[in-house]
Structure formats: C-alpha cells, structure tokens
Amino acid sequence: MADLVFCEPTKLYNILNQVTKLSRLTEPNYLCLLDVRSKWEYDESHVITAIRVKKKGDQYLIPESVDMECVKYCVVYDNNTSSLEMGMRGNHSHEDEEGGDDGDDNTQDYDLVPGPAVVCGRLLTHLTRDPVHILRGGYERFTALYHFFRTQKIIWMPQELDAFQPYPIEIIPGKVFLGNLSQACNPTIHKDLKIKAHVNISMASTPFFIGNADKLLHIQIEDSVEANLTPFFRRICHFMDIHLELGSVVLVFSTRGISRSCAAVVAFLMHRNEETAKKSWTHVKMCKNDVRPNRGLVTQLLDWEKIVLGVSVSNVLDLLS
C-alpha cells in the first residue's frame, strides 16, 4: 500500500510546469489530478487537467480511464483540506430535534471525520505504487496563489496539451522563479507571476526592464564549459537579496533554463541559506526535473561552496548524480 502525503501548492504548480521537449502533461502516466468537490463546483471552475471523481452513495468511483498503478503523480484535492487526519462535521443534537428543554436552537454535536480528499486518497493508496498526494489547502488555497490555472475546460485533446505553455518553475514560493528566454519574454507570465526583476544569464535580451539596472541584471556569458560564472555569483546574490528584501518577485533565466540559470539559482540558495552545494542542488532538482548545468559550472559551484562555507563539503558526483 502506498503512502498518503501532503502536496504543497508550490509542488503541484511545479508538477504542472515540468517539461522535456514538450510539457510533461502530454505523458499519459505522468499526472492524475483528481477533484472530489461537488459537480457544480467542478463545473464552475477547477484546476487545469483535473478529473472529477464521482460518487455512488458514499463510495468514490475511481476513473476507469486512468491506470493508477502506473501514474507517477496522483494528486487529490477538495475545497480546503489542511489535515491528513480528521476534520469537524457539525450535526444538530438529538435534544434539538426532539424539542429539548434548554431552548438553544443552535446546539450542535461535532463528529470527527476525514476530509473528502483524504477519504478518496486512502482508497487510492491501495491502487498506486507511488505516494498519493493530498493538496494542502485544497482548491481554495491553490487558486488563490495561481488563479491563472483555473479553468472550466473538461476534455483536453492531445494537441492542446502539446501546445500548453508551461510557466517558470517556482524555487522560493512567491519570490524566485527559474525559467527560459521564451518565458522571460512573455507578458502574460510577467503579469500572472507579478515579476518585478530579471536575472538574465544569456547573450540575448528581452523587452522588459531595458536600461533599468535596478530591475535587470544581465550577465552575458555563453553556454559552454569554458564560461566562467564565478566572478558574477556575488553580484547575482546581492541583486536578488535586495529584491527579496523589497518584496519583489525575481525571474532568473537563461536561453533554455537548464544550465546557466540553474547554476545561478543554486549559488544564490547556497549564499542565502548558508548551505552546501549538494543541498541547494537537491532542492533545485526537486523543483525542476531537467536541471543540467555543464561540468564547468558544477566545478564553479563547488568553488563557491568553499567561499560561502569556508570549507569544501560536496563533490562533483553529488551534483552530477
């Protein structure tokens, strides 16, 4: 039997935005996103690609179109589940129903019951190999953070998923995003994520923040093993520190968003959290599945670790595994 675990809104956001050559949502066994709210709530709006789970009596009916055993991510949400244990359900007391003599029409008994997402999730743990995720805060919290992922669309054709344009990956919730040049040029993404500053680590430029050194840090280096990002790590960290103190949302990007920008984000996390290259690398890799800094950048991150911590802890294999 698989485990039942919480899925933070940021994790679901990042799951929805993973790519290989195309969005990973095109893969049939990548994500099964299940909505256990009522039909009218689902029809009004739901998270993109979510399938509504129907009920027969008190029993949830698992969609037959999904091979649950092969699904990598199974995520279940209701309105606002915040516990994997029990919630409170109020019922009128028997005294009220029978005209009790205390005269308090508002008296209620409370039963401890699991939330709908947890009930459905427990059923699914018997069908999956990987953990079943319960979205913390449910639909309400997720769509409060990512309103642009609400939809009324129920059926997604393969070509529509092929054309889906992923958003940048969220590294520090609501503060730091990691993306590519195309995303950095997209005005809709800027508006939705409230991007206020760019760290551009590529030879190309974008239409945003041109000539504004307070909001744009442009490090022009090629994506090659010989490229040296080490001299710029302090500038990158200082620039991002300032904007995070101001409450600005920062987008770090390079041409493809898998090498130079990833190394810059790892370097920033090492600096900000005073942690090893391995720990920062692991966090970025957990957020974004196609992180691939070249070997030269990996060596530079190990040198940066010694500057940040005063000692070398990680090794090349830690960052290439």
The CATH number given to whatever domain includes residue 121 is 3.40.250.10
Tokens of 278: 């391995």
Say if residue 50 is in the same domain as residue 132. yes
Say if residue 8 is in the same domain as residue 156. yes
Backbone angles phi, psi at 21, to 5 degrees: -85, -35
Is the pLDDT score of 88 beyond 80?
no
Say if residue 250 is in the same domain as residue 178. yes
Q: Higher model confidence: residue 304 or residue 104?
A: 304
**3 state DSSP class of 276:** coil
Among 121, 141, 162, give the residue marking a domain's end. Answer: 162
Say if residue 36 is in the same domain as residue 134. yes
Tokens of 207: 């239409």
Say if residue 209 is in the same domain as residue 121. no
Q: What angle do CA 77, 79, 83 make, to 5 degrees?
A: 70
- Could you report the per-residue pLDDT of 285-298, keeping only the tens digit for each? 999 999 998 889 99
Say if residue 154 is in the same domain as residue 196. no
* Predicted TM-score (pTM) of this structure: 0.89
Is the pLDDT score of 116 beyond 70?
yes
Show contacts of 165-169: CB within 8 Å, 24+ apart: 165/23, 166/16, 166/17, 166/18, 166/19, 166/23, 167/13, 167/17, 167/192, 167/193, 168/17, 168/193, 168/251, 168/253, 168/257, 169/14, 169/17, 169/18, 169/287, 169/288
Give the integer Cα–Cα distance in Å for 244 and 268. 12
pLDDT value at position 321? 66
pLDDT value at position 94? 44
State which amino acid sits at residue 5: V
Burial class (CB in 10 A: 0-12, 13-18, 19+), 128: buried
Which CATH number characterizes residue 177's domain? 3.90.190.10
Say if residue 37 is in the same domain as residue 156. yes
Is the pLDDT score of 135 beyond 90?
yes
Task: Give me the number of domains the chain comprises.
Answer: 2
Say if residue 206 is in the same domain as residue 151. no
Domain residues for the domain of 128 are 4-162
- Could you report the per-residue pLDDT of 13-42, keeping only the tens digit for each? 999 999 988 899 999 899 999 999 999 999
- Could you report the per-residue pLDDT of 209-230, keeping only the tens digit for each? 999 999 999 999 998 888 899 9
State which amino acid sits at residue 71: V
Bin 243: left if φ > 0, else alpha if -120 < ψ < 50, else beta.
Answer: alpha
pLDDT value at position 96? 46
Burial class (CB in 10 A: 0-12, 13-18, 19+), 71: buried
What integer is the mean pLDDT of 272-297?
A: 94
Q: Which of 185-194, 233-242, 311-320 has the lowest mean pLDDT?
A: 311-320
Among 137, 162, 187, give the residue marking a domain's end. Answer: 162
Tokens of 194: 């409230």
pLDDT value at position 99? 47
Say if residue 236 is in the same domain as residue 276. yes
Is the pLDDT score of 100 beyond 90?
no
pLDDT value at position 113? 67
pLDDT value at position 112? 55
Say which residue the tokens 């709908």 belong to: 116
pLDDT value at position 65? 83
Say if residue 237 is in the same domain as residue 314. yes
Tokens of 132: 């079943």
Kind of pairing, strands 73-77 and 46-47?
unpaired
Say if residue 173 is in the same domain as residue 138. no
Q: What angle do CA 263, 265, 271 make, to 5 degrees?
A: 105
Say if residue 146 is in the same domain as residue 191. no
Exposure on the CB side of residue 256, measured as CA atoms within 13 A: 13
- Could you report the per-residue pLDDT of 148-170, keeping only the tens digit for each? 999 999 988 888 888 899 999 99
Among 162, 195, 220, give the residue marking a domain's end. Answer: 162
- Are 33 and 161 contacting, i.e. CB atoms less than 8 angstroms apart? no
- Are 132 and 3 contacting, i.e. CB atoms less than 8 angstroms apart? yes
Q: Which of 69-78, 102-111, 138-147, 154-163 has the lowest mean pLDDT?
A: 102-111
The sign of the torsion formed by the CA atoms of 244, 249, 253, 259 equals: positive
Give the integer Cα–Cα distance in Å for 37 and 121. 13
- Are 167 and 193 contacting, i.e. CB atoms less than 8 angstroms apart? yes
Give the integer Cα–Cα distance in Å for 43 and 35. 11
Cα Rg of the chain (Å, integer): 23
Q: How many whole angstroms from its chain centre is CA 140?
A: 16
**Average pLDDT of the chain, as a whole number:** 90
